[in-house]
Structure 1
């Protein structure tokens, strides 16, 4: 057999038939109705024989034509999935087109399911008008097509990309079989990789990967038993698996833009990693029941919302030991949008009715459980509080807790509140001793045995890994890794998210500061440098200059190059609300100055003062916060200026470029820059212009999360013994004080009985002879609370003495005054002024991450507190060091350069004939164009004699803009 496309087609059909499919005849396909009529008739005959004559299925007649036309119309209107799930009504009849998977112990349903006809046909001629056009394969369920396939073969030098091009170029989306919703998906594949599309739109068709992944990246692993892609037809499309997809995953979801009223629909089909993770989680629950922990590390933009929706729905039905594994599913999220997605996803499933509710306040959760609502959605902030009054009636129930973007949301006090509300009822009698209460608190802090936790995150921290991860034997003891991962590496290589590090451009700021006082006072050099940096970066001139660079870049590099088909948006990330408001005004003013048709939106929380007036984002924008995400999608709004808001959990595919003027590190850097990575059919790249971070900072932040993230080793509980010993040595408290405070605290006494105990300890703290001791004690106390609150939820044992100390220190630490540290840099800003400021854009670069698992260290269990010794220096030395560090243009011959800039260059530009003619027409805009051309010609003439000046003009954007503005003001003013 030749290894060509035809042989691949034959092999696929052969293996599908071996797996339970039937091979259909291509001649049986009725292109006018887009169905396999003999298969449909055979199915109805076997399952609903009373309809055969009523619908005249065996003879060509107006009755049969009316029925087939009705089927065609319903599939067109509702989509093939809903027709398969729910059937259709026709005249006085109801017709089923599919019988779902039978539950255990239901032989009648099993017999009906066995009558479903899964058919695969080769070389199907699909077009009524173009008889010669055919598809390589069409897969049908009971005669209704659900998948089409175009196959290519690497050995004949064709790949899945050629199949994708064939769908885009040669398959008319107006043909009945290709119209929206008539098939679940269209597959383009070869023997190496697979792609699918749910909505063919010609050249705009969007094909997504359907690969397993290999080495945490794109592609598929070698298959010792066959082709790399045979998992698709042997596993995913096996009849039982495909039935599960139809019943629980595939669907059409409709949404409505509340502001515009516009409705949109999307056909949803799971990608391989989504199907894989949900099925593996369900299989584990089926075996082990409640009480397990799962960490799912799925890259940003990987479709977590749909994965969570599919998981939540199926957890309501999953069985363990003959009964339901869970009584209620609680979804904890910060994203309001997830509520709508869950409802939309679950609403269309045939087995589930109205089961979803949002719990927002005390009492909601209890009412939802009592009303039989299976899926309850709440936020991280409200979760502990709405659990307060569930009551003992439900503490014996079993819960699945799905955490969207898990970081520390289940640690310490939150975990205790959850456990006390959902856990088994403990002793509650009047004779309960302090020790009984302490032991009950210890137990309440532990992860629930009657709940399973499903924690989704793209960037797992050390606490998250140890709390929810899978333990395994590492080099240094027990380590932890995710239950399932879909990495940033794979998502980027597959093109499902955009590589936000591929076009990273740092912008270096340069300043020159000068003294404004005659004397030369001393200041703390380190603190002074920080204050000087904040002073110059927040200076009105600096913000204006950077705002102009951002706007100019956005217009010249983003809008003019038609990024995302001309729909690209930008985000400006600022360091604080005051800076955010200043940037918004500077950007808005410059947009107006350059007569741009576009506007900016600002996003920050609360009310703040700006130039004597109270402002909010609503007052500046002219519309409320809830409208921002919608408004930025529509013109004239193109730039979103933010302070903290929209830096996490904001999914906007039109976001293309980010301007960063805020120091970022760790997870925050990853989450912020990842706002750019959402895919869009017309989005091929993203751009970061960073004024505050260098490439090394960003690389260091992203490195742990590029591939699967693992915890190097677990936090050692014995470190708590060391912390307690060190704390005791300071003599701030005695054990009797701890015991007495805890006894009274648990008894619920008024604070006038508690404060005297704490105040005696505060007095001991204040009387410490060394400030370093105060810093050390407070740092150790915080370290103990941080470490114990985390470990108490995962340790297999409890130590009552630690719990008592935790209660005591939790109340003592806030009362400890901060050690007195003199600010030896105070007043420096009154002694200086800014002489010059410029910014210089570096070369765009691709930040390459190491191709290996990211390793994070365990939770630190040390204090680390200390007082920084001031380094006193003279003001002149501090300014010299600051100016040296941040630079300035050091001209070799400053006097000559100054003469060129102020005399020679303006004179030569003014003499340019084209520029003179433009000025005579009294058209400033055209004159500026000719001026810039003339200036470029003059500068080019200097290249031989004044290389240094020409290089600054060519390479330094800010210098070039300053010189151009200055010369234009000088020369154009002469003609006025």
Structure 2
């Protein structure tokens, strides 16, 4: 008896399972014809049993040689058409058509086809000697009616061998020239199997053979989960290979993909036999089964990472959904609609499904108008493919559609479920018969209410529509709309194939594996004498734009990129590697292209050529010529992907275009010169993750983003994306209550509006358009009458939040609040008519400022490590983050000082100042101040800990050594935190007016009454109780003068005063805590001085800088001799 731990025992257990439970018969290896690689005994048994009359008529033609001649003909067809096509569509010999396999019917309308399916003979044959040259054998051979379709090499880890040995056996011991292994002609898939994992390939190519994992995945990563009742890989023979499943895979999954490629101007075809990976097979079957069980009217979210093969999954799902029939043999879905922006998907769908059925017209692409869509749906086209942009939005245009059920498959779901667009899409498919409503003579009030209810129902879930949303990076809206509730009540995907699993299975690269950060340090100066008063945000944006577009900045970065590309990237992927430069704007693309061309010419580099990708036209500095993508590249936009794939071009400079949905496997390196946040960062950097032969790694060089920000962007999508909480519908009522308090919208206006707006469209007149405007204009007038601009802004912002939130929430729950629906309809149009905030002038500061100092420095490189089971979640949709920042104004010189300070301090910051700066920031933290005054030090330390870490992380770039020491050395960190805890707590609880607690500087401050008038502003300057610190500011406050300080060896004047600089100084060379002399700028206003101070609490969304502004207003007293002095200084926002 064989040992139960050897490979033979493993073989026997699989064979027995398939024979006992899988619908297989035991094959005889002696019946295998090595010359033809067919089990002709089983083949003829099947043909004579199922097609006796046809066989008899062929016997009459060929006589005694009928089997020999039929095998000759069959071999011809298998060589020419391949095994898969012959299995599906049979062969013809002398006009006699023979079916080689019967596939299970999708309906029970023809019982005879089920009987024929049952007559298929599936065999499992062990130790098959396949070669005509030697006695080489394969462990297991699976055949259908004598025709070989799969081989299996088994390894048992108990014997010291595993799946890698099976893979090596296929690569080095199985000659692809042997007929059994010839691509397409015989066996269609080859499995390498051990007790733990499975790999498969559809093409043997010697050492180039590529095996793909065929595993379930475990803990959101690669591998298989433990199986308490058997082998971890038992799903292969217990589920996948059983008769019904295996025949379904052969009939409705496997397909031959023919891809046209262009290389160096030459076109050639690449054939690939596509066998579903486990997650594809699993997701399509689970989705189909659930749709069959529950019928139409349900939404599904499929979170499948890049590299998951979404195009094939969508094609298979569409075909399976189109074939679903209920127990009464009625189709579950009358049509399946695929919404995608993938140009290749329509052809791929048509080609794939044609292989299944050899029928035309099963798939129709909608590329004209809504009438074409209506025709496709009413004519019963099984599968319709279109884009959301071309999907018709108006019922009136399409006309009434029959009441039918539809499955809508949305590719990249996050871009396609917007409020009104989704509602309009549902309108078309909601099967509302408008003519019936128009022909009835009913009460007008009832008619309007019915229209409102109908509008509400269209927006909510529809019983005749099922949505299947595919995405790798679901947003909060996507999760709530498509997701299903988990045990915690939060929405989750119906099916998951995670980024982590795709990376671990090597279908994509981890693009954060090699990530290098550069930081720009610079010093600006003001070139003009005047100091104009400017909008703070716009001026800061203009300065940031000035820097990023400055020729020296572009030149330095260009040199870094090109030299890195030549030294590193150019050698990758066998010399074929390419790079993408992600820029901040179209103007950046144009200027970078000029700089790239200049540098390449100057250096004499002829091995690099760059292309550009941007939309529209660009005019530099308002001076012709206008630049366009085709003009700069020398060919049309549609040609770019194909041209860039050739060896002529290496670098692609982009602005928005090609940052999502662009798959070029040869992309190896990305240079990022643009702020990227959240899902945008994931989608953009993931352009590098595609695999191809010879590609071993990727590289990102980032000039702008922080490593921790990129980590935070990727983490929620690394495993399963989850929401921190679900959106609360009661927020709608809270928002409406707030809007009502402004007294801009009256209920009488809403009622009058809805009486017209929801009136039957057949009964509406042109005059009623004017009536709608008049009703809304009344509210606009009330809005204009609001005196304070901040109240106007608050109302406008709140109204916008309400409209967006209602449009979203109404899709995921059927609201039955007519008043809320009426308010929404009115609010949408009111929002469009409200005057927007004054856009103002756009600043161009090229003539006002100059770049004095510039340095580009690598600050970090290496892997950004994504965490397993991190629990990272995305936030649900809410009203947060929608308020517009109030315009603030500052003197140009102070804005420049701010930016110089933000980017310059890393050069001169001494270690001893590091903790002082953190201390000062914490002392000025308003929330921490409240906690200190209301808690004991023991309770205060809990809030202190979080703020300390936040401040530390904020400043980590300024002193990496100290930061690492605190993070790595717990004892050192404890001493530091204990020291700062006591100091911060004591300072926050001290009376700021207590002179005994003032710095030593104050010991020499002389009270006002002790300084003679003739000494003031001659030998002494006033000292004010003002600190230029990191804080945020509230209401106007009075700043006291503390006294006078003697200043020697300096000529003084009445513009001057003294304040203390703490925290991060406005001038990097000034030590923390110093008392500094301030003065008004000459040529500027003597009043209204503006000082910029850093704030860790405020982030400008456009420049991503953290700062705030304080304005100092000086009140003076004037004497009879026309002399004056500062009496007090007012500090205000």
In the superposition, the TM-score normalised over structure 1's length comes to: 0.86
Q: Please point out which of 414, 420, 435 is paired with 2:449.
A: 435
| Distance across 1 between alignment mates of 2:360 and 2:884 | 59
Q: Which moved more, 1:254-263 or 1:25-34?
A: 254-263
- Deviation digits for residues 937-970 of structure 1, max 9, x if unmatched? xxxxxxxxxxxxxxxxxxxxxxxxxxxxxxxxxx
Question: What is the aligned partner in structure 2 of residue 495 from structure 1?
Answer: 506
Matched residue SS, 2:745: coil
Asked if the contact 2:394–2:428 (Cα under 8 Å) also holds between the matched residues in 1, the reply is no
- In structure 1, the residue matched to 2:817 is 799
SS of aligned partner of 2:508:
coil
Q: CA shift at 1:573, angstroms?
A: 1.3
- In 1, Cα distance between equivalents of 2:853 and 2:880: 44
Give the alignment partner of residue 333 of structure 1, picking from 340, 357, 381.
340
1:177 to partner: Cα distance: 1.6
1:37 matches 2:62: no
Q: Match for residue 536 of structure 1?
A: 547
Which one of the candidate residues 233, 240, 244 is aligned to 1:236?
Answer: 240
Query: Which residue of structure 2 aligns with residue 647 of structure 1?
Result: 659
Cα deviation code 1:397-441 (max 9, x no counterpart): 111111111125233222322232221426444544332322222
Paired with 1:867 and 1:764, the residues of 2 have a C-alpha distance of 23
Q: Are the equivalent residues in 1 in contact too, given 2:143–2:150 (CA < 8 A)?
A: yes
Give 5+ residue unaligned stretches, structure 2.
Answer: 759-763, 911-1133
Distance, in Å, in 2 between the alignment partners of 1:710 and 1:863 is 20
- Confirm or deny: 8 A CA contact 2:522 2:903 kept in the other structure: no
Change beyond 3 A, Cα 1:524–1:416: closer
**Aligned match for 2:589, one of 569, 580, 584:** 580
Counterpart contact for 2:256–2:274, Cα < 8 Å: yes
1:410 aligns with 2:441: no
Instruction: Report 1:771-782 matches (<5 A).
Output: 771-782=789-800
The answer (yes or no) to whether the contact 1:772–1:867 under 8 Å persists in 2 is: no
2:373 pairs, out of 357, 365, 373, with 365
Query: Of the candidates 608, 611, 617, which is equivalent to residue 601 of structure 1?
Result: 611
Partner secondary structure for residue 775 of structure 1? helix
SS at match of 2:568: helix
> TM-score, structure 2 length as denominator?
0.74
Out of 385, 390, 396, the position equivalent to 1:382 is 390
Distance in 1 separating the partners of 2:420 and 2:374: 21
- Establish whether residue 764 from structure 1 lines up as the match of residue 782 from structure 2: yes
Report what 1:938 is aligned to: none
Kept in 2: contact 1:782–1:863 (CA 8 A): no
Answer yes or no: is 1:3 the counterpart of 2:5: yes
- Match runs of 1:6-155 below 5 Å: 6-18=8-20, 19-50=22-53, 64-102=67-105, 103-104=107-108, 106-129=110-133, 131-155=134-158
Corresponding residue SS for 2:9: helix
Q: Secondary structure at the match of 1:385?
A: coil
Partners of 2:102 and 2:86 in 1: CA distance:
11
Separation in 1, partners of 2:741, 2:578: 58
Give the match's secondary structure for 1:319.
Answer: coil
Alpha-carbon distance change, 214 to 31 in structure 1, aligned in 2, over 3 angstroms: same
Task: Indicate the residue corresponding to 1:174 in structure 2.
Answer: 177
1:150-173 deviation per Cα after TM superposition (whole angstroms, max 9, x unaligned)? 222223332212222222222222
Residues 827, 589 of structure 1: alpha-carbon distance in 2 compared, 3 angstrom cutoff: closer
User: Residue 284 of structure 1 aligns with which residue?
Assistant: 290
Q: Greater CA deviation, 140-149 or 102-111? A: 102-111
CA contact (8 A) 1:87 1:95 kept: yes
* CA 807–105 in structure 1, closer or farther in 2 if over 3 Å, else same: closer
The answer to whether residue 473 in structure 2 is matched with residue 472 in structure 1 is no
Between the aligned partners of 2:57 and 2:756, the Cα distance in structure 1 is: 82
Distance in 2 between residues matched to 1:109 and 1:440, nearest whole Å: 45
Q: Is the 8 A contact 1:298 1:487 kept in 2?
A: yes
Alpha-carbon distance in 1 for matches of 2:899, 2:68: 89
Aligned pair partner of 1:753 in 756, 771, 774: 771
Q: Which residue of 1 aligns with 2:310?
A: 304
Task: Name which of structure 1's ranges 274-283 and 9-18 shifts more when overlaid on structure 2.
Answer: 9-18
Match of 2:851 in 1: 834
Change (3 A) 1:424 1:96: closer
Give the counterpart of 2:528 among 511, 517, 521: 517
In the alignment, structure 1 residue 725 sits paired with structure 2 residue 737: yes
CA distance in structure 1 between the aligned counterparts of 2:734 and 2:685, rounded to whole angstroms = 39
Range that drifts further, 283-292 or 351-360: 351-360
C-alpha contact 2:520 2:903 (8 A) present in aligned 1: no
Question: Is the Cα–Cα contact under 8 Å of residues 580 and 670 in structure 2 kept in the other structure?
Answer: yes
Contact 1:198–1:269 (Cα < 8 Å) also in 2: yes
Q: Kindly tell me: are residues 738 and 219 of structure 1, through their superposed partners in 2, closer, same or farther at Cα, counting changes over 3 Å?
A: same
Would the alpha carbon gap of residues 8 and 513 (structure 1) be closer, same or farther in structure 2, given more than 3 Å must change? same
CA distance in 1, matches of 2:894, 2:468: 58
Match runs of 1:569-968 below 5 Å = 569-592=578-601, 593-610=603-620, 612-746=624-758, 747=764, 749=767, 751-819=769-837, 829-852=846-869, 853-861=871-879, 864-865=882-883, 867-868=885-886, 870=888, 872=890, 875=893, 878-879=896-897, 882-883=900-901, 885-886=903-904
1:39 deviates by 1.9
1:122-168 deviation per Cα after TM superposition (whole angstroms, max 9, x unaligned): 22222212x13222212111111111122222233322122222222
Distance in 2 (CA, whole Å) between partners of 1:157 and 1:843 is 43
Question: Deviation at 1:837?
Answer: 2.6
Query: Helix, strand or coil: the match of 1:859?
Result: coil
Query: Quick one: structure 1 residues 80 and 821, their matched pair in 2 at CA, closer, same or farther if it must change by over 3 Å?
Result: closer
Residue 62 of structure 1, CA deviation: 6.2
Q: 1:446 aligns with which of 446, 460, 463?
A: 460
| Equivalences, count | 883
2:406 pairs with one of 396, 399, 402? 399
Structure possessing the higher radius of gyration over alpha carbons: 2
Q: Give CA deviations for 1:897-956 in whole Å, capped at 9, x if unaligned.
A: xxxxxxxxxxxxxxxxxxxxxxxxxxxxxxxxxxxxxxxxxxxxxxxxxxxxxxxxxxxx
| Partner residue in 1 for 2:199 | 195
1:751, CA displacement in angstroms? 4.4
Distance 2:150 2:881 in 1: 60
Closer, same or farther: CA 876–863 of 1 in aligned 2, 3 Å: closer
